[in-house]
């Protein structure tokens, strides 16, 4: 087994360190985008990227620079992994 294939903590829990799994997550989450990159340039969406929203919660690990979790209860994406450059109509600017 490849050393990156599966890493487990002493208590037997998977640590999420698996390059293939990370790549599959990235691809799956990007397919679930709300706004395609070209839609982000529409004037009413400009600057309203998830990473600039006050409800953005970055995730750790290998995907920290690309994805986070939406924590806006008013958003249809609450509790879901979102790409940093995605966006929705419930965007709330950082204050």
pLDDT per residue as tens digits for the range 14-29? 666 678 888 888 898 8
SS3 string, 39-69, reads: HHHCCCCCCCCHHHECCEEECCHHHCCCEEE
Instruction: Please report the pLDDT score of residue 34 as a whole number.
Output: 82
Instruction: Please report the pLDDT score of residue 47 as a whole number.
Output: 77
CA distance 64 to 39: 23
* Mean pLDDT along residues 54-70: 91
pTM: 0.71
Instruction: Please report the pLDDT score of residue 4 as a whole number.
Output: 47
* Mean pLDDT along residues 75-86: 92
Residue 1: pLDDT over 50: no
Tokens of 30: 């990007």
């Amino acid at each position: 087994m490849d050393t990156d294939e599966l890493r487990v903590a002493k208590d037997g829990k998977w640590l999420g360190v698996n390059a293939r799994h990370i790549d599959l997550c990235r691809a799956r989450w990007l397919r679930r985008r709300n706004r395609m990159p070209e839609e982000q340039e529409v004037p009413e969406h400009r600057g309203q990227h998830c990473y600039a929203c006050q409800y953005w919660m970055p995730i750790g690990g290998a995907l920290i620079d690309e994805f986070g979790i939406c924590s806006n209860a008013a958003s249809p994406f609450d509790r879901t992994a979102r790409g940093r450059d995605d966006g929705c109509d419930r965007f709330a600017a950082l204050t």
